Chain A
Amino acid sequence: MSLADKEVPRVLIADDEAPARSRLRDLLDDCRETFPLVLVDEARTGREVLDVLNREKVDIVLLDIRMPDMDGLEAARHIAGMTDPPAIIFTTAFDSYALKAFEVNAIDYVLKPIRLERLLTALRKTRSGPGVSREALDAAANQPRRHLSVHERGKIHLVPVSEILYLRAELKYVTVRTAQREYLVEESLTRLEEEFGEVFVRVHRNCLVARHAIGGFERNADESESGWAVLVKATGEKLAVSRRQQHVVKQFR
């Protein structure tokens, strides 16, 4: 018996529909004979999943893709940033468009109505090999996240994208600035620009500013190569505009 087999995996169910959760409970009961497990909790939205993960140790999440508030795909993208993320098994009713993206990116899923054998196979698979990668999830998602996740001391903290004033690249990290405070996230500024291009505008090689946060532009010759700085409305900070991005000034004035 290997070490992994001695630990009984802790499972979390996530689905917004009560009958779907109860069905999964029944099936997990049936699984126990051949695949011992502990049911940790149940969640109804992606946000609740992250709450549970902050509270409890979870090894496997049975994650419905279509949920209100935060869907399963966005929750999974936040989970993938954890240092020791649980394995994810997506569950979904047939939706050919979304599933094509899953297949292209080699993301496994279980179709509803779920069969016991199929669920067992998926549960066993979580013991071998690495889980689904953040890159695959990003590629499969057809829309930007609504939050960035900050991982501090094993906990996931969500920052709503709508509250972000600007993003500034610093060495390995990106600083996320809201009106209240700053956070560090492990993301690439280029990728963030691709994902949230409608919300942010690039003013400098290392800086994206939220369009709604721009309070104006000021002449500021000493710190900025273009001679312009963008004024952040909520904090009064001034961020340098590079010569290459100088056209932004015209666009907003």
Chain B
Amino acid sequence: MAKWGPVASINQTGTGIRLPNFCNLGVMLRSLVVVNLLVAAGAVLHAPGPAAMGTEFMALAAFAEPILFISLAALCVARPVLHALGYVRSIAAVVVFEAALAWVVGRLLGGALPAGVALTAPQLVLLALFATGFTLAYFDLRSRALAPAIAEARIQALQARIRPHFLYNSINAVLSLIRSEPRRAERALEDLADLFRVLMADNRTLAPIGNEVELVRQYLALESLRLGERLRVRWNLDAMRADALVPPLVLQPLVENAVYHGIEPCESGGEIEIDVGVAEGQLRMSLSNPYPGGGRHSAGNKMALTNIRERLQLHFDAEATMRSEVKDGMYRVTIRMPYISAPA
């Protein structure tokens, strides 16, 4: 079990709270919204009447937006440095930086705007510190609120577990091999053991896609034991980078769905196509299988998709997407997420 004391919250592993990743689109958007709401609140308070609120907002924004955009860019670039500092020191660094930035912007812009509208540099520094404190406090609260959710991700990964249907059918298939082909039975049991090792593992943290692909191969080896030539798989991994980090069990449940809904209902079977590749800083995984239709895409499928979507959101916020579509008798799921590589 994870410890929830202050020690655990500062350390860099597992559920520890850190400075948000300012390169993440979701974090950027949240920062923009928070700061602009503060500016709007300031405008409402400062304006002499409702009519002047708009002008007041514009005047404040003229100072706030440059600071905001420069800050986001700088924090994104300085991320590795801040990361190395630890949570408390990185916050101190951010506060000092924001104060300095506000001072410089105040001096530069102060002269360019009419005296009645312009804020003085000390005023601006105070406002910047206030906005910084508020934003950081918001992200701190948010990550604390999400920390149990990350622990939850492990449970969810377990819920995305292999269908009992698959387990019992596989054991049945292995039983049938024991008398006639003991060696194949041995290999099948080894694959089954590996699969369950991953299923029972702590799946909170991201893991290399290479591992996931290996897991899917073992899973498919077991399924082809049962389905024989009905199950055909085409891999396209030319553009894959095995070190790309993904939430564990992101692919396997989808492949399992493809077998259950796309291959098993067909007497002659079908082909599953799995595509994994990195392009332009994005990791793209797509999977397609025949769609025999009949509108019987069951609750099981929806549950697996929801589960994966939630875990993607937990790890990547708005930067990961998952789409599924039925086209020309084929069912296709596509997942895109930022390409992050495992530290060497």
Minimal beta-carbon separation of A52 from chain B (angstroms): 16
Minimal beta-carbon separation of A46 from chain B (angstroms): 11
Residues of A within 8 A of B179 (CB): 26
- The residue of chain B having its C-beta at the shortest distance from the C-beta of A45 within the complex is B267
- Docked CA distance A69–B264 (Å): 10
B168, B176, B296: the one contacting A19 at CB < 8 Å is: B176
CB pair A20–B169 under 8 Å, yes or no, is yes
CB pair B169–A112 under 8 Å, yes or no, is yes
CB pair B265–A68 under 8 Å, yes or no, is yes
- Docked CA distance A112–B226 (Å): 13
Q: Interface centre among B164, B173, B176, B265, by most A CB within 10 Å? A: B176
The tally of residues in B whose CB lies under 8 Å from a CB in A reads: 22
B172 touches A (CB below 8 Å) = yes
CB pair A94–B165 under 8 Å, yes or no, is yes
Minimal beta-carbon separation of B72 from chain A (angstroms): 49
CB pair A19–B265 under 8 Å, yes or no, is no
Give the number of A-B contacts (CB < 8 Å).
59
Q: CB within 8 Å of A: which of B252-266?
A: 264-266
- Docked CA distance A17–B227 (Å): 6
- The residue of chain B having its C-beta at the shortest distance from the C-beta of A15 within the complex is B172
Q: CB within 8 Å of A: which of B154-193?
A: 164-165, 167-169, 171-173, 175-177, 179-180
CB pair A17–B226 under 8 Å, yes or no, is yes
- The residue of chain B having its C-beta at the shortest distance from the C-beta of A94 within the complex is B164
Residues of B within 8 A of A45 (CB): 267
CB pair B171–A113 under 8 Å, yes or no, is yes
Q: A17-B226, A112-B168 are in contact. Are A22 and B267 (CB under 8 A)?
A: no
Q: A93-B164, A95-B165 are in contact. Are A68 and B172 (CB under 8 A)?
A: no
Q: A17-B169, A93-B164, A94-B165 are in contact. Are A22 and B266 (CB under 8 A)?
A: no
28 pairs, A vs B, C-beta closer than 8 Å: A16-B264, A17-B173, A17-B226, A17-B227, A18-B228, A19-B176, A20-B169, A20-B172, A22-B176, A23-B172, A23-B173, A23-B175, A23-B176, A66-B264, A68-B264, A68-B265, A68-B267, A93-B164, A93-B167, A93-B172, A94-B164, A94-B165, A94-B167, A95-B164, A112-B168, A113-B168, A113-B175, A114-B172
Which residues of B pack against A, CB within 8 Å?
A: 164-165, 167-169, 171-173, 175-177, 179-180, 225-228, 264-267, 296
